[in-house]
């Protein structure tokens, strides 16, 4: 049991690093910071890891990116929004791209777009000006969803979750003599 926990912690750490890199360094500058594809890796983590590990990876990867790129003011929102976005996905299927995970993109979009709009409205004390950021948030969600669907489909094509013992959702009983 401890070995599986350590492996999950390591996988969460790898996802945290991927989320950080694809958020902090693979992005397009925008008026509120930047538009990135890191959310695609958050969705992948949510489809491959148990929920607590995916929440950690999503929140920590996004917060690290915000803090280490000069946008620390967004870190509190990122922690909450990215943690909430993973809650709609499931890791319990043999495939990454399943009906539930495709449908989960819709509430993830709503949380991202609505959450950042509300946060920006609170920190600027203005509910009109942050409307301009919605285009960037929609673009971010669309690009991240495309990444999730493309990488998830590629991993499903090679049966990655079935082959990787760490992500195998089947319970195997082992008898010791």
pLDDT at 174 over 60: no
pLDDT-derived band at 16 (thresholds 50, 70, 90) equals very high
pLDDT digits (tens, 9 = 90+) for 96-145: 999 999 999 999 999 999 999 999 999 999 999 999 999 999 999 999 99
Binned at pLDDT 50, 70 and 90, residue 33 comes out as confident
**Boundaries of every domain in the chain:** 2-167
Fold topology of 2-167: Arp2/3 complex 21 kDa subunit ARPC3 (1.10.1760)
Mean pLDDT, residues 38-46 taken together:
98
Residue 5 CA: distances (Å) to CA of 8, 12, 21: 5, 10, 24
Please check the confidence at residue 170 and state whether its pLDDT lies above 60.
Answer: no
Residue 171 has pLDDT above 50, yes or no: no
**DSSP character string of the chain:** -HHHHHHHHHHHHHHHHHHHHHHHTSEEEETTEEEESHHHHHHHHHHHS-HHHHHHHHHHHHHHHHHHTT-GGGHHHHHHHHHHHGGG--S-SSSSS-HHHHHTHHHHHHHHHHHHHHHHHHHHT-SSGGGGGHHHHHHHHHHHHHHHHHHHHHHHHTTHHHHSGGG--S-------
Q: Give the separation between CA 93 and CA 116, rounded to whole angstroms.
A: 30
Check pLDDT > 70 for residue 48.
yes
Q: What is the per-residue pLDDT across 49-89, written as a single tens digit (0 to 9) for each?
A: 999 999 999 999 999 999 999 999 999 999 999 999 999 99
pTM of the model: 0.92
């Amino acid at each position: 049991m401890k070995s599986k926990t350590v492996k999950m912690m390591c996988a969460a750490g790898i996802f945290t690093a991927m989320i950080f890199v694809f958020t902090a360094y693979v992005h397009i500058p925008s008026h509120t910071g930047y538009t990135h594809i890191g959310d695609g890796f958050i969705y992948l983590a949510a489809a491959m890891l148990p929920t607590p590990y995916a929440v950690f990876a999503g929140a920590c990867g996004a917060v690290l990116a915000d803090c280490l790129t000069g946008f620390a003011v967004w870190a509190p929102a990122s922690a909450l929004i990215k943690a909430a976005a993973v809650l709609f996905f499931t890791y319990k299927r043999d495939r990454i791209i399943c009906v539930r995970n495709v449908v989960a993109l819709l509430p993830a979009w709503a949380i991202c777009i609505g959450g950042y709009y509300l946060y920006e409205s609170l920190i600027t004390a203005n509910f009109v000006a942050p409307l301009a950021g919605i285009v960037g948030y929609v673009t971010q969600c669309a690009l991240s969803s495309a990444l999730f669907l493309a990488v998830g489909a590629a991993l499903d094509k090679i049966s990655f979750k079935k082959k990787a013992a760490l992500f195998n959702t089947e319970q195997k009983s082992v008898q010791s003599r």
